[in-house]
Structures are given as C-alpha cells and as structure tokens.
C-alpha cells in the first residue's frame, strides 16, 4: 500500500478536516446542565433540591411545567408543606412519613407523595433523594429526582378501591371491613381503647325480593345504605357484608346506653317505608352489638360475639337490638335443644290454650278473650311463650301451631255467650303464607263460629315487605267478616300509614307504654292519650295491655281506653274455668292488685358477688330492676350499709341496703341500670379488662365475679362483717 495513502487517511484534506472536527465536537463530553435538560425533555425525570433547613431551593423547569406553577411560588417553601404523605389503607404496607425521613436525614427511596397543583388538581410523584454533605461533613440539604406517576397511581387506587368497596351500595365491603377491624383492634390493644361492632340484618328483606323482584331489592339495599350512612356519619364506618347484612364499626365507644340509643335509631330509621318504582315497601332491622375489649380481643372473637347478639335480637322478636353477653352462648345451645323438644310436643299435641279476658274498665264486664298458647313440658315444667314462640318462628313449625290454635279457639268460643269474642294471634309468617284466608274460613266453617266473633291480632311485622300483597290479604279477610286488631301498636315497625286503609277494628296499646305510666315525669300518659284519640278518630276500639296496678287502671280509664287486659283483672284461664264462670251468669270481674305500680323487676336465681369494705361475698340475685335488686345469702347486714353489687363481666353497681330480713336484703342502686334491648338490664359502663389485667387477672379468664379488686377473694384484709350463708339457686 502506498505511503501517501496512509498519510491521506491520517491527515485528510481541508474539507475532510472540517468533517472530522464536527464529529469530534459531537462526541466530546457534553455539559451536565444540557444533559439534565435533555433528560427532562424526554420525560425521564425531574429534579429538585433543598437547603439545610428543608426549604426548596430548586425545582427544574419540567417539574414546574408539570405542576402548572411559577417557580417563585414554591421555591423557599418548606418541602413538607409542598409534598404531602399519602394515606395508606388499613392492612396495607406503609411508608415512613416524609417529615420523619427528612428529619433523620435518611435516603428517600421511591417515596410517594401528593402535591396540590395550580389547576386545582392533585398530582402524585415518586421521589428519590440523598442528603448532601459538605467537605467538612456539614449537612447542606437534599438533592433528588422525581417521576410523575399520577396516571398509574390513580388507576391503582381505583382498582384497590373497587376491591374494597361494595359495588351496589358504595359502602365498604367485607374485605375492607375485616382489614379495618383487625387493624383497629390491634392498634387499640396497645393504646387500651375500646371499639364497638354492630351487626345488622334486615328483617323480611327476602319477601321484598320475592314479591317485587331483585332490581327492587337492590334499590332497597341502596336506600338502606344511605340511611345508615346518614345516621353514623363520621362516628364510624358502615359496610355491607353481602346480601342483606351490614356492619358498623364504632371506634372509642363503650357506653352501652349511647350504643343502645344509636341502635334503636338505626332500627327505627330502617323500618320506615320505602318507595321503590312507585310502590311502597317496609322492612325491619335487627342489631347485635359487641364491644372490645369486653366481648372479644381480636376480630374473630368480636365478630362471633356480635353475630350471637344479632341472632338473639332476631329470636326475641326482630326489630330490636341486643348486646352480647356470655349467657348467649348457653342460650344458643338451649334454643337448639328446645326446638327439638317443641317439635315433639307439637307432634304429641301437648300445647294448649288459655284465655285472658279483655274487660270494659267502666263496667268491669268481659267483652273478649285472647287465646294464649301454653306448654307444659313433662321434664322442664311450664315453658314461657317468650321462649318457645321465637323458636317456632325459625321454621314452619309456627304455621302448624298457629293453625291448630286458630281451630281450637274457634271451637272453644262457640261454647261462650254470643256477645263474647275470641282474639287469636297470627304470626307474620302465617299471615303471608299462601292460603291463609282459606285457613281462617275453614276454621270458622268447621266450628260454626260467626265470623264477627273472631278477631285476628296482627303485629306490625306483617307490614314488612310488599304492602300491596298485604293489602290484598286484609281485603279478603274483611270480606270474610272477621275483625282485625293491631297488636303491640307503636313498638315495632311503626307507621301511621298502616291505619289509612281502614282494615283494623281495634288498636292494642303495648304494655311498655302502660308500665310506669304513673311515674313522675313519664311521657307514656301522653302517648296513651294520643293513641286513644287517633283510634277514636278512625272509629277503632283501644285496649290497654299489661295493666297490673290500680293506679295504672285509673290512668288508662281516665285517658279513654275502651278495654283493659292484664293481671289487674285476671290471669289467663283454662276453658273449663271460663265455662264455669259463664255458667254462673254474665262474666263480671272485680279488679284486684297493688295500689301503685312498682318498678319492673326480673325474677332470677343466679350467683353474683357483693363487695363490702375489703371482703367479697357470694350471694343469690333474686329480683333485679333498673333501680334495685333483692339478694339472698348473707345474714347480719344492717340497713344503710353501702355495698357494691358485682353482676359479672365488669358490671359493678354501687348500692345501698334499704331493707333487710334475716337472710335477704333489698338494694337501691346509686345509678340506674339500662335496658339491654331484649327485656333485661345491664350497667351502662363496665370495668375494662385492661384494668383486670393490671390486677393480675388473665384477659382470657374473664367471667362472673371478675373485677379489679378480685384479690379480695384470696387476701381479705380483715374479718368479714357479715355471715356467709350456704347458697342454693333453687327458687
């Protein structure tokens, strides 16, 4: 190869030298600023810096363009005021706060933050940054980069939200509720805080679905969700578990009085009529309530407790609330056994009827008898209808019982004077069953009883569901000629709209309005007057139920009740006794009873504790009311002694002995008990299990007699002041 050629290749001519110079310039090391600018223009990243005080000193142009802001509006502001931490869902992985990392001068790695833009929108950035140190090790501030992830973040957030939101109602779904409950209880165990859980189930929702269609059912669920949300507001979180089941989480709530009032508001709100596609429907609700840490320490325990309380509320009568107690576990087992025995009893025809008179309070003359079911079990003895009727309601057993009772009542009433009517209770399940009107007609035909002498007592629960179907049944019964009475008026799914159709001949004022109506400050007399006035305006009779004292009788007579039913006149009577009275002439009853109403009491025989000074005694609780109790098991207790009654499970009641016999004492409570929603009483507050743990009592060992001063049992400081008698719970 010629040497000239090699030279020309190494040393190009003038034109070739210009081209090589251009190539060299293009491949020279670029300026840092130009590279950063090009990176920004390509959308790869943005850059920022702060000073040692944490104030923003630099935001690259792309960052400012992304935010739609002028440089001067952000430069000089503290970084923690410009960039905000994002909220994490309960149970999700969380990141340390930006302020924490800046203060610790830690690296920023994939830190997601939000920023308010000049366009009234929010952007999300992912930050990376490192602390900058001077030659002598002084902290100079941060230098970092950022990437706008707004589009992806919004998408991911939407997907995450959809996975935790009930699509139909927009409430939290089961997954989110479970995560929130677990996270809340875990955090609250550390801080020793309380948390209430409500489980809700809609009564008779299936009937709406069946009669009005699933779209109507869906619309109903949406309206229920709206009502629940409007009641709870920001006090807690409402969610739908699925179907017609809802849940309410209420952090930092353990006042059972407040919770009971809230549950009652929920029941009343949900029970008001709904308008769906131009048609009216009514449902009800039952609520079960459990409170951590008293009723459970983790989500599974608390959920089981609330579920058990819910089942109890539904078994009681529906349309009410119930708090969890440990007794519910035993009751659940007893209910299952009772159901088996009840079915056998029905097969053996062991249920019978008793008849309680409804009396004109002005003349004391009997006008009607209500047929009441009675069951005398060969092993257990008499079993209250309050126990076995809810069990029968759980399946179609109530249909068999109801039809048998209807036939027997019609047959028995035929042997009474022609002026005396018979009233028969009809369950909601029996009422809406296809063919019910034919069943009534068949009972009348078989007995020969004139239709006008038969009254069917219906509770407000029959109105739950499709009102058009209910109206049709009422119309057919009226054509048949029977009379209709609305029982327990004002206590269930109350609505004056029930009365517009003119179906009813009689309103029965529930005994809850009669009991205590003579006490000072009680509003029940006004309620009784209003119901009587309403009934008279609509041409209906009124019956005051549950009258037991002479002062109650005088009040309901004065307020205009047409008929009175209760122990003041008579307990339920067998057919033989009724016939014997009629054989002596027209039945006229003289009222007999105490002069004044006494506070409602519950008779029971169970062991509880009594604390006096530094000693703990075992006693038998015989009677319990809101304001006092009677106990057995101690001797030598002076009147005026201050004591503390331990009802178990942290329920301590400061009391004073107001009367005493040799082995029995009457206590008056310093603070009245409250209703538990199902006919019982309980304290408004309980001693926290955390206090019990501090006293050396394991949380898992909570039970009757457990309280912070339980050490008294084992280490009494002095001799007992009272004599402990041998206890027996037999009544």
CB 260 within 8 A of CB 681: no
133 in the same domain as 196: no
139-153, 318-332, 399-413, 688-702: segment of lowest average pLDDT: 688-702
282-296, 481-495, 706-720: segment of lowest average pLDDT: 706-720
Domain boundary among 157, 192, 217: 157
The partner residues of 659 in beta bridges, in order of sequence, read 666
* Cα–Cα distance for residue pair 1/5, rounded to 1 Å: 7
pLDDT attached to residue 557: 94
44 in the same domain as 148: yes
Question: CB within 8 A of 75, min separation 6: which ones?
Answer: 56, 57, 58, 59
83 in the same domain as 52: yes
pLDDT attached to residue 377: 84
138 in the same domain as 54: yes
Based on the structure, what is the number of domains in the chain? 4
610 in the same domain as 697: yes
Helix or strand or coil: residue 380? coil
Residue 220, domain CATH: 3.30.70.270
Residue 555 pLDDT exceeds 80:
yes
User: For the segment 7-42, what is each residue's pLDDT rounded down to a tens digit?
Assistant: 333 344 444 444 444 444 444 556 666 766 676 666
Residue 332 resides in a domain: no
Residue 447, domain CATH: 3.20.20.450
Burial (CB count <10 Å: 0-12, 13-18, 19+), residue 104: exposed
Cβ neighbours of 178 (radius 10 Å): 20
Residue 689, domain CATH: 2.40.10
Share of the chain above pLDDT 70, in %: 81
Q: What is the mean pLDDT of residues 549-575?
A: 93
Domain boundary among 129, 157, 185: 157
571 in the same domain as 428: yes
415 in the same domain as 517: yes
384 in the same domain as 449: yes
Residue 593 resides in a domain: no
* Cα–Cα distance for residue pair 59/65, rounded to 1 Å: 10
User: For the segment 572-609, what is each residue's pLDDT rounded down to a tens digit?
Assistant: 999 999 999 898 876 888 999 888 876 555 566 688 88
pLDDT attached to residue 390: 80
208 in the same domain as 87: no
Question: CB within 8 A of 607, min separation 6: which ones?
Answer: 618, 619, 620, 621, 704, 727, 729
656 in the same domain as 514: no
User: For the segment 396-454, what is each residue's pLDDT rounded down to a tens digit?
Assistant: 789 999 999 999 999 999 999 999 999 999 988 899 888 999 999 999 999 999 999 99
Which H or E element spans position 333? helix 327-347
Look up the domain containing 296 and give its range. Answer: 165-325
Residue 16 resides in a domain: no
Residue 4 resides in a domain: no
Residue 588 resides in a domain: no
Residue 728 pLDDT exceeds 80:
no
555 in the same domain as 434: yes
User: For the segment 189-207, what is each residue's pLDDT rounded down to a tens digit?
Assistant: 888 889 999 999 998 888 8
C-alpha distances out from residue 559 to 32, 417, 590, Å: 96, 29, 20
308 in the same domain as 215: yes
The partner residues of 544 in beta bridges, in order of sequence, read 509, 564
pLDDT attached to residue 712: 46
User: For the segment 70-106, what is each residue's pLDDT rounded down to a tens digit?
Assistant: 656 888 899 998 898 886 544 444 567 899 899 989 9
Residue 729 resides in a domain: no
Residue 591 resides in a domain: no
Residue 55 pLDDT exceeds 80:
yes
Helix or strand or coil: residue 717? coil
User: For the segment 350-408, what is each residue's pLDDT rounded down to a tens digit?
Assistant: 899 999 999 999 999 999 999 999 998 887 788 888 888 888 887 778 999 999 999 99
The partner residues of 657 in beta bridges, in order of sequence, read 667
Residue 663 resides in a domain: yes
Domain boundary among 104, 137, 157: 157
Burial (CB count <10 Å: 0-12, 13-18, 19+), residue 24: exposed
């Amino acid at each position: 190869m010629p040497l000239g050629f090699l030279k020309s290749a190494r040393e190009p001519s003038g034109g070739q030298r210009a081209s090589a110079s251009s190539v060299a310039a293009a491949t020279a090391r670029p300026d840092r600023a130009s590279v950063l600018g090009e990176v920004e223009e390509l959308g790869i990243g943005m850059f920022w810096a702060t000073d040692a005080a944490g104030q923003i000193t630099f935001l690259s142009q792309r960052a400012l363009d992304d935010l739609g802001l002028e440089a001067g509006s952000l430069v000089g502001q503290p970084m923690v005021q410009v960039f905000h931490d994002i909220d994490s869902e309960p149970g999700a992985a969380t990141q340390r706060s930006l302020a924490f990392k800046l203060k610790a001068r830690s690296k920023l790695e994939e830190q997601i933050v939000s920023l308010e833009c000049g366009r009234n929108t929010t952007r999300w950035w992912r930050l990376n940054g490192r602390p900058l140190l001077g030659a002598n090790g002084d902290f100079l501030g941060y230098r970092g980069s950022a990437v706008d992830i707004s589009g992806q973040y919004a998408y991911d957030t939407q997907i995450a939200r959809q996975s935790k939101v009930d699509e139909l109602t927009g409430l939290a779904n089961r997954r989110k509720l479970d995560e929130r409950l677990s996270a809340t209880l875990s955090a609250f165990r550390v801080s020793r805080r309380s948390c209430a859980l409500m489980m809700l189930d809609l009564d008779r929702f299936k009937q709406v679905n069946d009669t009005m269609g699933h779209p109507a059912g869906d619309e109903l669920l949406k309206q229920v969700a709206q009502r629940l949300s409007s009641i709870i507001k920001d006090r807690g979180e409402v969610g739908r578990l699925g179907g017609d089941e809802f849940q309410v989480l209420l952090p930092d709530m353990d006042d059972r009085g407040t919770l009971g009032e809230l549950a009652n508001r929920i029941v009343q709100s949900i029970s008001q009529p709904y308008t769906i596609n131009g048609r009216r429907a009514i449902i009800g609700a039952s609520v079960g309530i459990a409170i951590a840490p008293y009723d459970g320490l983790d989500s599974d325990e608390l959920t089981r407790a609330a579920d058990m309380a819910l089942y109890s509320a539904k078994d009681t009568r529906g349309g009410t609330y119930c708090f969890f107690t440990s007794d519910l576990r035993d009751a659940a087992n007893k209910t299952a056994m009772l159901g088996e025995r009840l079915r056998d009893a029905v097969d053996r025809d062991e249920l019978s009827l008793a008849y309680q008179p409804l009396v004109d309070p002005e003349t004391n003359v009997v006008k009607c008898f209500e047929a009441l079911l009675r069951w005398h079990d060969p092993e257990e003895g008499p079993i209250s209808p309050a126990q076995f009727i809810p069990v029968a309601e759980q399946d179609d057993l109530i249909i068999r019982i109801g039809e048998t009772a209807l036939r027997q009542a019609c047959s028995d009433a035929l042997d009474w004077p022609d002026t005396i009517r018979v009233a028969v209770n009809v369950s909601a399940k029996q009422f809406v069953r296809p063919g019910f009107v034919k069943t009534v007609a068949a009972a009348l035909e078989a007995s020969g009883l004139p239709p006008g002498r038969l009254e069917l007592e219906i509770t407000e629960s029959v109105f739950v569901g499709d009102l058009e179907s209910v109206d049709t049944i009422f119309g057919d019964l009226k054509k048949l000629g029977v009379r209709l009475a609305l029982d327990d008026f004002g206590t269930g799914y109350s609505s004056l709209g029930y009365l517009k159709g003119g179906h009813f001949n009689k309103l029965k004022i529930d005994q809850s309005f009669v009991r205590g109506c003579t006490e000072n400050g009680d509003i029940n007399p006004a309620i009784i007057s209003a119901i009587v006035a309403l009934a008279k305006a609509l041409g209906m009779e009124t019956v005051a139920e549950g009258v037991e004292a002479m002062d109650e009788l005088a009040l309901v007579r004065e307020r205009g009740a047409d008929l009175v039913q209760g122990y003041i006149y008579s307990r339920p009577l067998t057919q033989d006794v009724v016939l014997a009275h009629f054989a002596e002439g027209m039945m006229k009853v003289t009222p007999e009873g105490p002069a004044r109403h006494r506070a409602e009491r519950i008779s029971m025989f169970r062991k509880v504790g009594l604390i006096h000074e530094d000693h703990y005694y075992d006693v038998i609780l015989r009677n319990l009311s809101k304001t006092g109790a009677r106990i057995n098991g101690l001797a030598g207790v002076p009147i005026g002694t201050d004591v503390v009654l331990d009802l178990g499970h942290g329920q301590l009641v400061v009391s004073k002995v107001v009367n005493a016999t040799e082995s029995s004492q009457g206590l008056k409570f310093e603070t009245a008990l409250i209703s538990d929603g199902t006919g019982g009483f309980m304290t408004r507050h309980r001693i926290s299990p955390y206090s019990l743990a501090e006293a050396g009592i394991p949380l898992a060992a909570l039970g009757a007699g457990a309280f912070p001063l339980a050490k008294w049992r084992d280490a009494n400081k002095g001799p007992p002041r009272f004599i402990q008698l041998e206890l027996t719970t037999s009544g």
